[in-house]
Amino acid sequence: MKTALVGDIGGTNARFALWRDQRIEQIRVIPTADHARPELAILAYLSEVDQPLKALEAVCLACAGPVGGDLFRFTNNHWQLSREAFCRELGVKELLLINDFTAMALGMTRLHDGERITVCDGEPEPGRPRLVIGPGTGLGVAGLLPLSGGGWRALPGEGGHICLPVGSEREAAIWAHLHRSLGHVNAEAVLSGPGLLTLYRACCALDGQQVALDSPAAITKAALAGDAYAAAVLEQFCRWLGRIVGDNVLTLGARGGVYIVGGVVPRFAEMFLRSGFSEALREKGQMSRYFDRLPVWLVTAPYPGLEGAGVALQPLLEGA
Tell me: is residue 8 an annotated ligand-binding position. Answer: yes
Tell me: is residue 220 an annotated ligand-binding position. Answer: no
Asked if 151 contacts 140 with a C-beta cutoff of 8 angstroms, the reply is: no
Distance CA 273, CA 264 (A): 14
Task: Determine whether 128 is exposed, middle or buried from the number of CB atoms within 10 Å of its CB (0-12, 13-18, 19+).
Answer: middle
Distance CA 117, CA 197 (A): 26
Cα–Cα nearest to 265, from 198, 204, 202, 220: 220
DSSP category for residue 76: S
Tell me: is residue 12 an annotated ligand-binding position. Answer: yes
Tell me: is residue 10 an annotated ligand-binding position. Answer: yes
Backbone angles phi, psi at 124, to 5 degrees: -60, 135
Distance CA 3, CA 21 (A): 8
Tell me: is residue 151 an annotated ligand-binding position. Answer: no
Asked if 188 contacts 139 with a C-beta cutoff of 8 angstroms, the reply is: yes
- Number of continuous H segments (helices) and E segments (strands) in the chain: 10, 13
Strand-pair partners of 14: 9, 30
Cα 183 from chain centroid (whole Å): 24
Tell me: is residue 107 an annotated ligand-binding position. Answer: no
Q: Where is the binding site, in residues?
A: 7-12
Q: Where is the binding site for ATP, in residues?
A: 7-12
